[in-house]
A and B are shown apart, each in its own frame.
Chain A
Amino acid sequence: MKRLLAIAGLLLVFGVLPAMAESEAEIKARINALKPADFPTQPIEFVVVYPAGGGMDVTARLLAKYVEKYTEQRIIVLNKVGGAGLVGNAYVATQAKADGYTVGVLSDGSWTDALLKAPGKWTQKNFQPLAYLNYEPRTWIVSTSGPFANKSTREIVEHAKQNPGKVKVAITPGLSGEWLAEQIEGLSGAKLIKVPFQGGAPAITALLGGHIDVAGVYYSEYQGHLAAGKVRVIGVASDRRLASMPQVPTLNEALGAKDLVWEVWRYAATPRGAPEERRKYLAAALEAALRDPGLIAEYAKKGAITERKYASVDEVEAAMDLLYERARNFFAKTGRLK
């Protein structure tokens, strides 16, 4: 035991500490050593496929701020908006030049769009990942002044089963909130009224106004209302509980299920085929930014979870492949894909 401790101590001193102690200047020098001579000669564009001010946009802008810090290059965040992400995803996948100047700050929506809205036009293989950023699980919330203020997920689903058409759940069509509600209907036999909203903010307004009963939304979207005691979280669509609310069960725990896992999975990618040395430079800069305690804290404050890491870009790509297959199977099973 003592020996083990000693080894651990030695490892800490010689292995981890020097790495942690790498100063900002050293990191900058390391990244700068990877900088190709002819790149970048103009600002790099971070493409966000959702509107300015939203969750993805804030993720990208914070990232840009820290990448600028390490590279001292100008980064422009470009919102390519339209068709609930389709326009921007198609842009990064098929239209943008693979020259390293276009970096998509994307989510799993980039390949669900490929599967559902643009079948045959592109796949997740068109995006060549640079880095994994963070994830955020969808959660089910209720209003503390509504009829289900003190009810658990199981009780609400049971109520919906006994009284079909009496529980209204806010969803965003074509996104995971809809699929989550469908899965819950499928495994419980309950019938939910799935009311479509364009995103989380209007759904939460309707929840606060008592027009709907449950909303499947992200923590960052209701943070303020949770602090004010206006809403209560009843379940987390992840394989583990949230560190910020350990008392809230996962939806799997609440309903005795296995696959109620719907997280927004955020990553940065170039269009496939960008010059390898430019990609290495970008990847190193992104990695430094993502390790910066400042960025980790800012992501945590808005509810994004950064604890899951992938050791290499290849691992990120392998994870993408897995998630892609999972989404494809789900869509095939629910009849969305022929």
Chain B
Amino acid sequence: MDILSGLIGGFGVILTPANLYYCFLGSLVGTLIGVLPGIGPLATLSLLLPFTFNLPAVSAIVMLAAIFYGAMYGGSTTSILVNIPGEAASVITCLDGYQMARQGKAGRALGIAALGSFFAGTLSTAALTLFSPVLVAFALRFGPPEYFALMALGFVITLFMVAGSTLKAVVVLALGVFFSTIGLDIVTGKERFTFGLIEISGGFELVAVIMGLFGVSEILLNMEKMAKGEFFKKRLGSLLPTRADWRASGGPILRGSLLGFGLGVLPGGGPTTASFFSYAVERRVSKEPQRFGAGAIEGVAGPEAANNAAVGGSLIPLLSLGLPSNAVTALLLGALIIQGVQPGPMLMTQRPDIYWGVIASLYVGNVMLLVLNLPLVGLWVQLLKLPYWILFPNILLLAVVGTYSAGHSFFDVWVMIAFGMVGYALRKLDYEPAPFVLALVLGPQLEQALRQSLIMSEGSVSIFFTRPLTAVLLVLAAALVALLIVGVWSRRGLSRRLTQALKESSR
């Protein structure tokens, strides 16, 4: 009953007017920066960090954590409304969310994103409360070979994600992998493909790439449509998910929560990876995968649940091991250290107020975010009424500001514009750019894990088959590839059925 008394103590810490205020403030700021394209939690936290110096440690961490998960709530908004992700973890939400908006279901998509986020956030907090010590032990079993297998599985899964041609997905993925190798070699420290440009010696800034591929290219595409006068008619529709939406979303939210939490716990995982995995899984288990990419609510519910659950998961290695699993939790770690708190195995006993206070704040924060976000759905949907000649220049402005603030480098703004052109070309040619982002995120991790493993085994590939966890994951990946090949084989039959289904649905 240590857990129960700890949690009650945590609520005691958090349910004071001051701490509730900071939790609310964090949730609000998080939602706003999640909504603004380009401006992500990382840039915001590093800007706000100095303001927390004079707060008590608990208040500071509660507020900063609320910004992090608040951003996951808000991130889906622009993905759904204008096809431009608010941050990396919402890239995948564009695929179906935007299609739903085009069909007049924007409110339903936003509603399910908020509710799904709430359930996932609460579920993952419960898991964090109950299973933290067990999960730490499990996460530690992941060494370089296990990460390699997990990342390999991630790449294979991406191929199931995209609606169109698998070959095109492979091309985009390969392009992403190539771009992920730009920068310093992780073993030798030598520069690769940088042509001596110091600005890209660390690789391309992820925010710049995302804002270019999705934001700038979307604006270009829309300008073209406006010029041709083929813009879609705006319909607002119902604001809340229907009962049918709920029935369709229950499974995805549950699966997304589990997946997101699990990936969040692993150092190196995180919200972005989790959202991609969830989308691929939903498309795979769906009876009608052809609906994905054409406005399937499962494609919104799953990933949005996953990215929120991942936040809860990623707090486990942070609080219990003092190990950040991504850049945002690294900043939270820094904030704790500046406050004189050393996260790690002793935190729970030495500073129970912080450990349980943060956990309790997650329950409270999720409720606040739900209350905050549901009424906002109506407001956000009104944004669609704005004429595009007002909306898009403003989005572009925000994208420039967000990109610049990510690395304080104007070079990144040029990168964004260049990737805008690339994204425009890709989409004109029917290549879905989302796998590019995943490859850029997973590529360096895969390379690192592979090279670490082979150094550990002195070059022998047997290391991938003698470790049970690695072997299982790799066999799973191989089975999926086999499935894919069989699928391509019977593609003919599939495409015939698909056209038939489309005909029926349009009737």
Contacts and interface: CB of A to CB of B under 8 A. Distances in A.
Contact of B142 (A78, A117, A165, A209): A209
A87 B340 contact: no
A80 B342 CA distance: 25
A224 B198 contact: no
Contacts of B337: 53, 58, 220, 302
A329 to B, nearest CB: 19
Interface in B376-430: 407-409
A53 B335 CA distance: 7
B408 A78 contact: yes
Contacts of B409: 80, 87
Contacts of A298: 340
A286 interface: no
B344 A223 contact: yes
Interface string A25-68: 00000000000000000000000000111100110011011000
Contact of A64 (B50, B321, B342): B50
A52 B326 CA distance: 11
Given A53-B332, A54-B334, A211-B143, A193 B342 contact: no
Contacts of A52: 42, 45-46, 49, 327, 330-331, 334
A61 B334 contact: yes
A53 B323 CA distance: 11
Given A52-B334, A205-B323, A298-B340, A228 B456 contact: no
A230 interface: yes
Interface string B333-358: 11101101011111100000000000
A242 B341 CA distance: 22
A62 B346 contact: no
A77 B331 CA distance: 13
A196 B340 contact: no
A301 B345 CA distance: 17
A206 interface: yes
Interface residues of B, number: 57
Interface string A158-179: 0000000100100001100000
A82 B183 CA distance: 9
Contacts of A195: 144, 452, 455-456
Interface in A209-267: 209-212, 220, 223-225, 227-228, 230
A284 interface: no
Interface stretch (B163-171, B187-195, B304-312, B360-368): B187-195
Contacts of B343: 224
Contact of B189 (A53, A84, A224): A84
A61 B49 contact: yes
A86 B186 contact: no
B291 interface: no
A112 B91 CA distance: 38
B184 A65 contact: no
Interface in B189-224: 189, 191, 198-199, 201-203, 205
Interface string A74-94: 001111111110110010000
Contacts of B346: 224, 227-228
Interface in B316-332: 317, 321-324, 327, 330-332
A220 B337 CA distance: 9
Nearest to B411: A87
Contact of A51 (B187, B323, B330, B340): B330
A57 B330 CA distance: 11
B230 interface: no
Contacts of B187: 173, 196
Between A53, A81, A204, the greatest number of chain B beta carbons within 10 A of the residue's beta carbon is seen for: A53
Given A117-B191, A195-B144, A223-B322, 4 more contacts: A51-B327, A61-B53, A83-B198, A205-B140
Interface of B: 42, 45-46, 49-50, 53, 139-144, 183-184, 186-189, 191, 198-199, 201-203, 205, 267-268, 317, 321-324, 327, 330-335, 337-338, 340, 342-347, 407-409, 448, 451-452, 455-456, 458
CB-based closest 9 A-B pairs: A224-B344, A82-B202, A53-B334, A211-B143, A83-B201, A174-B189, A209-B140, A228-B345, A53-B330
5 contacts: A77-B50, A81-B407, A117-B184, A210-B140, A225-B345
